[in-house]
Amino acid sequence: MTNRQRLWRIFGPVIVACLLVGLVLVIPWRGHHSAKTIQRAAVSISPTVFKNKSIKSQAIGEKHPYYVPFFGSSELNRMDRFHPAVMAARYHHYRPFLFGAKGTQSLPQLFNMNMMAPQMENGKAVFIISPQWFVKQGVTPAAFKYYNGAYANLSWLKQANPHSPYDRYTAKRLIQLLGDNGTVGSDAKKIAAGKPLSAWDRSLINFKVTLLRNQDNLFSGLNVNENYDTRIKPKEHLLPQNYNYADLQAIAEKQARKETTNNRFGVLNKFYNSRIKGTKGLHNSQRHFNYLQSPEYADLQVVLNQLAKTNTNVVFMITPINAKWEKYTGLNMDMYYKTADKIKYQLKSQGFNNIVDYSHRGGETGFMQDTIHIGWVGWVDFDHRVAPFLDNPQPVPHYQMNSQFLSKKWCHLDPTQQNLNNFTTTELNR
Amino acid sequence: MLNWIASMPNLSAYGTPTYFLYLLLAILPLGIGLYYGKRFSWYEALISFIFLFLMFDGSSAKQMVSLVIYVVYQTILVMGYYHYRQKNNAGGVFYITIFLSLLPIVIVKVTPAMVGHNSLLGFLGISYLTFRAAGTIIETRDGAVKEINWWKFVRFMLFMPTITSGPIDRYRRFSKDYRKVPSREKYLGMVEKGIMYLFIGFLYKFVIDYFFAQQWLPAAENMAMAHGHHLSWWVVAVAYLYSGDLYFDFAGYSLFAVAISYFMGVETPMNFNKPFVSKNIKEFWNRWHMSLSFWFRDYIFMRFVFLATKKHWFKNRNVLSSLAYMINMVTMGFWHGVTWYYILYGFLHGFALVTNDAWLRYKRKHFKGLESTALTQNVARFITFNFVVFSFLIFSGFLNTLFFGH
């Protein structure tokens, strides 16, 4: 055997293997998922579903079953028997598709929505806003990276319009959160500067997106977690056969009392044991928390713009905070209510009028499952407010977007009535 | 400086497919050189340095400082002893040198048990470097190391493919490979084997171990924990799944290290040879983590047996070998770390080796007619395998978590 033959015999199989792998990634696999996979994915609240496309776009695009996106954050993981997914399965026509976990604030949600924009067109959605998002720094780079992959970023860049103030703002945020290196960074820099992407940039994006799409189609449906089988389905039969709001409230309150026996905050026993008991320094620890000045307001604005672009009819919920907990930790409730007011002002002045404001209800028995997440009675009430909106036809929304809400001035504004009035006359009606 | 190093990206060894892409591209010129009969020593030193740097920068930057200090320290010891040994050969000097060589690892292993946190001296791979350094000192005493200089020793210590977790090579063997360039015929054979090892390693580490480590083991551990702080059938599942994880993770890693060594023209010894087909525990240790168990066999077991025989410490040969087994395995337990489960693991294996010898003697005496058939062999395999799995459950530390919540 000559050396050349020997070399071929050694490296030939390696070359063939590399080619085959390349081929697998390049072949446009059809990414169709079974109804069972989608049912599980809808309550998996997993980053894989969140940052990919094939499962969610198939789910939201289907009429039967009718999946409604529920955007939110950690409260979606409070899966007691009154959780929207359980309630819907028992009483309603729609099925919630949950998007959100700890750290999915406005910006990750924007990239999430962008991947299923065509499917969301003229549809409905629920959006749960937590005032806790509105901290000085906004979303952290770590959380953003965890819920946002190259696929989402590149898909967004592909359709970004350098002449839109919203897209320029988003591109700037991308650079702040991810840095300016790599394909994403350098393309975002162009968009942020108002310059269009070159043909080369686009073909590079297209190439990468193709590979990522094939991987998504091939792999996203595997290993969806078992939330559905372990945390949703077994709870359905625990609810009464027929819907009765007053009955459900009473059961929820009773259940809440049963599960909050070891602490004075009215939080779930398990939560108290693992997160509060024995932890020092909690008393008065939140005295200086402030949610009034935050880049999150502008981040929320790009989300609103995205919802307006897809003409989505949205119902918003603003989350409450456990009243006993807030007293213990010294959180300034005046500040909390003003945060809710500022958010509501931003929503209403642009035509987002379906708002469930729970900011004042954190003191009701069983409304909160723990310190900042609703549960039991809260979920029952939430369902009562949201289900009619989703199950019945609604008037077509008319949104009037105003890019002044992207400004630093808005992000930093102290929302006193006078300041809000001033903002209306000098900025919005300009 | 440290801040700058801490801000660099960290590439842990053999962690991701991308790492292999970089590594293989980097050693490609070396391979071409070896094919044409040249060893590009300086290029090799340079890429070794770069990959070591990437392994120990970023969040592990403090470890890099420890590594540098450690290697300087061991080099001084080894070179100092080598020069001393050319003229003299006093036992006391040898023992002091060995003690000094082992001192850092003793401190690193004992610190967590004493003060509850890891020693600042530690870094990833310190155990393996200790074996190389101490082994070199022992070989020097034996007169087996004919020539050594600091540069050769440092390259042996910091041989990049095997630095963090072995296999443990011996200086004498390594330096022989390093001095010469393999013939083209031989080198192509090594590359061929290396590629096969690399792909088996991919299968082990990135495919099979994914299921053990990411899917099955965590699920079983959760179920066991949910069952309460006592034994349940789930703990049995944990034992088997942990054994699978340990084997496929470590064997996969070792295959990578051997494959990359082969590409660099060095025949690093193999670490595993189908350990779970072993018919008794002695055979198991000839098939499992071989570079470690052979090191212990040569430098602890054999040394102890020779010493004790020379000094006539024991009349009975069986007592001698039993004690040697116990010392050997309990030392290995301590080497893993000073916790009750590592030490118990070592003790169990020592005890098993003693039992095995006793059984063989008993069999020879009382079961003369017992023939070795497929049935007896498989029964032996079954017993050995299940004992090993049980000992790995101890080794995993899971019982510590289960019983004491640590």
DSSP state of A313: E
Q: What is the ipTM of this complex?
A: 0.76
For the CA atoms of chain A, what is the radius of gyration? 24
Catalytic residue among B289, B336, B366, B406: B336
* pLDDT tens by residue, A28-60: 888 899 999 999 999 999 999 999 999 999 999
Q: Which residues of B37-53 are buried (b: 16+ CB within 10 A; e: fewer)?
A: eebeeeebeebbeebbe
Q: Is B195 on the interface with A (CB under 8 A)?
A: yes
Helix, strand or coil, per DSSP, at residue A127: strand
Interface of B with A in 126-155 (CB under 8 A): none
The CA-CA-CA angle for residues A36, B208, B160, to 5°, reads 135
Alpha carbons A343 and A373: distance in angstroms, whole number? 19
Contacts of B215 in chain A (CB under 8 A): 223
pLDDT of residue B3: 61
For residue A282, what are its two tokens? 């909690």
Q: How far is CA A407 from the centre of its chain?
A: 23
Give the model confidence (pLDDT) of B77-96 as tens digits. Answer: 999 999 999 999 999 999 99
Residue type, B285: W
CA nearest A8 in B: which residue? Answer: B192
Range with the lowest mean pLDDT among A28-32, A233-237, B335-339, B363-367? A28-32
Task: Report the length, in residues, of chain A.
Answer: 430
Nearest to B40 by CA among B206, B178, B216, B222: B178
Smallest CA–CA distance, residue B167 to chain A, in Å, is 25
Cβ neighbours of A9 in B, within 8 Å = 192
Residue B229 in contact with residue B402, Cβ under 8 Å?
yes
Mean pLDDT throughout B221-244? 88
Which residues does chain B have within 8 Å of residue A17's beta carbon, measured at their own beta carbons? 199
* DSSP per-residue letters across A256-308: HHHH--S-SS---HHHIIIIITT--S-TTTTTT---SS-THHHHHHHHHHHHH
Question: Phi/psi at A96 (nearest 5 deg)?
Answer: -70, 135
Q: Does B192 sit within 8 Å of A3, measured CB to CB?
A: no
Out of A3, A14, A223, the one facing B195 most closely (by C-beta) is A14
CA distance B192 to chain A (A): 6
Per residue in B1-49, pLDDT tens?
556 666 566 677 888 888 898 899 999 999 999 999 999 988 998 998 8
pLDDT tens readout for residues B370-386? 888 999 999 999 999 99
Q: How far is B211 from chain A (nearest CA, A)?
A: 11
Q: What is the dihedral of CA A231, A237, A238, A242, to 10 degrees?
A: 130
> Does residue B281 contact residue B350 with C-beta atoms inside 8 Å?
no
Say whether B312 is catalytic: no
* A323, pLDDT greater than 90: yes
pLDDT-derived band at B404 (thresholds 50, 70, 90) equals: confident
Are A14 and B184 an interchain contact pair (Cβ–Cβ within 8 Å)?
no
What is the share, in percent, of chain B residues with pLDDT greater than 90? 68
Q: Is residue B119 scored above 80 in pLDDT?
A: no
Residues of A in contact with B192 (CB under 8 A): 9-10
Check A3 against B215: CB less than 8 A apart.
no
* Among A1, A4, A6, A230, the residue to mutate for chain B (most B Cβ within 10 A): A6
- Residue A55 in contact with residue A37, Cβ under 8 Å? yes
- Tens-digit pLDDT profile for residues A131-153: 999 999 999 998 898 899 999 99
CB contact under 8 A, B188 and A223: no
Q: In B, which residues are within 8 Å of A211 by CB distance?
A: none
Tell me the CA distances in angstroms from A280 to A268, A275, A285, A288, one per residue in order: 19, 11, 10, 18
Find the length of chain B.
Answer: 406
Q: How far apart are CA B366 and CA A294, in angstroms?
A: 84
Average pLDDT across chain B, whole number: 91
For tokens 């929503």, what's the residue? A347
B203 vs A: CB within 8 A: no
Q: Please name the residues between 3 and 42 in chain A that touch chain B, using a CB distance below 8 Å.
A: 3, 6-7, 9-11, 14, 17
Nearest to B191 among A10, A17, A223 (CB): A10
Quickly count: other Cβ atoms within 10 Å of residue A4's Cβ: 8
Q: How far is B159 from chain A (nearest CA, A)?
A: 25
Nearest to B195 among A3, A6, A10 (CB): A10
What mean pLDDT value characterizes chain A? 94
- β-partners of residue A368 are A374
Cα(A378)–Cα(A97) distance, integer angstroms = 19
Please give the model's pTM, rounded to 2 decimal places: 0.71
Please state at what angle helix B61-87 crosses helix B150-157, rounded to 10 degrees.
140
pLDDT, tens only, A241-299 = 999 999 999 999 999 999 999 999 999 999 998 888 887 888 999 999 999 999 999 99
Which of helix, strand or coil describes residue A62? coil
Q: What is the pLDDT of residues A50-88, one digit of tens each?
A: 999 999 999 998 888 899 999 999 999 999 999 999 999
Say how far apart CA A9 and CA B255 lie, in whole Å: 21
Contacts with A, B 213-252, CB within 8 Å = 215
Give me the pLDDT at residue B113, please.
78
CB burial readout A350-363, b (16+ within 10 A) else e: bebebbbbbbebbe
